[in-house]
Structure formats: structure tokens, C-alpha cells
Amino acid sequence: MNGWNLAAAVLLGAGGTAALWGVTTGPPARRVIAQNMTTSAVCPALLLLSQGYGRPAYVDLALLLALLGPVGTLVFARLLSGDLSDGRPGAWGLTWTAAGAGTVVVTALCVAVGPGRALVKLLVTGALLIGGNVIASRALAGGFRGVRGG
């Protein structure tokens, strides 16, 4: 096991356990925030795994998760908006921490990959991941307040 895989294991273990704890306990608002954090824990782990196994094709998995993970959170934010309205607003400290962790991972991988097409792909994935998480947090913090029936 090399350093990349070790980092992925730590990220997956720590982030996954914390997210599992959050997603199974507490009020709905907290559960949805934990669901959102799942994406920001697993997606960098997938990027690290791709580097650790030396298979650039595995980056596709992280790219798809960065695209679809926030969409899944938007589903919950929209269709549970009634249950979320009395909860606390989105956890911005946690969101920016996750964004920072994602930035660190993507930067480290960019340095390891070196200039080229793979670097731009990594940057696209990172931008989608961080942007998606911030927007999903915004949606949880009352982004669907005006939604009634539709």
C-alpha cells in the first residue's frame, strides 16, 4: 500500500464514519447535511485511489460523483424542504472545511500528475466538487423556501 492509498483509506474511514453517524442520527436537517458531506469525503478518496492504483481512467468515477452527488443532495433539499424549514441553516463551517480538504487533495494530485490533459481533468473535477458542495449547502440553507407544490 502506497501513500496515496493510505490517504484514501484514512479519508474514507474518517469521513465515511462521521458521515454515517450524521446520516443515521439526529433531526432531518442534520442528516441531509451529512449526506452532502458524503460526496466531499468520498470523491477526493476516489481521486486518491486513482492515483494510488496508477489508473488514470478511475478519475471518471470521481468526476461522475462530483457531478451527481450534489444533484442527489438537491433532490433531498427539494423534496424534504417542508421538514428542513424548522432546522438550523446549512453548516457553513463544515462546508468550507470540506471545500478546503478537497482543494488540498486536488492540489496535491495536480502536483503529482504534472502538466497535461489529466491535470485539466483533475481541475474540472475539483471545481465541480467544490462548487457543487457549496451550492448544495446553499440549497439546504433555505434555497427551496419558495417551493410549495411544484
Partner 1 sequence: MNRLRLWLLAVGGAGLAVLLVAACLDLPDFGGDRHPYGDRAVHASLLRHTANTVASVNFDQRAYDTLGEMSILFAAVLGCVVLLRQARDEHRAPPEPAEVARPVRRYALLVLPVALVTGLYVIAHGQLSPGGGFQGGVVAATALHLLYLGADYGALERVRPLGLYETTDALAVSAYLVLGLAPVLAGTAFLANTLLPYGTFDTLSSGGTVPLLNAAIGMEVASAAVVLLAHFLDQAVEIEEEHGS
Partner 2 sequence: MLIVVALLLVAASATAAVAQRDPARQALVLSFMGVLLAALFTVLQAPDVGLSQLAVGSALTPLLIMLSVRKVRRRGRAKKETE
Partner 3 sequence: MNRRTAPRAVLLAAGELLAWWAALALLWLVLITTVDTLERIVGAGCAAVGAVLARAGRRAVTWR
Report how far apart, in Å, the C-alpha atoms of 111 and of each of 6, 25, 63, 80, 139 are. 18, 39, 19, 41, 33
Nearer to partner 2 by Cβ, of 31 and 99: the residue is 31
56 binds partner 2 (CB under 8 A): no
Task: Quote the CA–CA distance of 113 and 132 in Å, as a whole number.
Answer: 24
138 counts as binding partner 3 under rule CB under 8 A? no
**Any contact of residue 20 with partner 1 (CB under 8 A)?**
no
Q: Please say whether the beta carbons of 69 and 131 come within 8 A.
A: no
| Cα gap 101→124, rounded to integer Å | 16
Q: Which stretch binds partner 3 (CB under 8 A): 10-18, 29-37, 119-127, 130-138?
A: 119-127
Cα 67 to Cα 73, 90, 93, 132, distances in angstroms: 11, 20, 22, 7
Binding to partner 1 by residue 30, rule CB under 8 A? no
Q: Which x/- pattern over 38-77 shows residues binding partner 1 (rule: CB under 8 A)?
A: -------------------xx-xx-xx--xx-xx--xx--
- Whether 112 contacts 51, CB under 8 Å: yes
Shortest reach from residue 57's CB to partner 1, in Å: 4
Counting contacts by CB under 8 A, is residue 91 touching partner 2?
Answer: no
User: Considering only 27-35, 82-90, 106-114, 127-135, which stretch makes contact with partner 1 by CB under 8 A?
Assistant: 127-135
How far is CA 46 from each of CA 26, 49, 55, 60, 65, rounded to the nearest angstrom?
A: 28, 5, 11, 9, 9
Regarding 146 and contact with partner 1 (CB under 8 A), the answer is yes
Cell of 116: 497535461
117 in contact with partner 3 (CB under 8 A): yes
Q: For binding to partner 2 (CB under 8 A), which residues are involved?
A: 1, 5, 8-9, 12-13, 16-17, 19-20, 23-24, 28, 31-32, 34-35, 38-39, 42, 45-46, 49, 53, 55, 57-58, 60-61, 64-65, 68-69, 71-72, 75-76, 79-80, 83
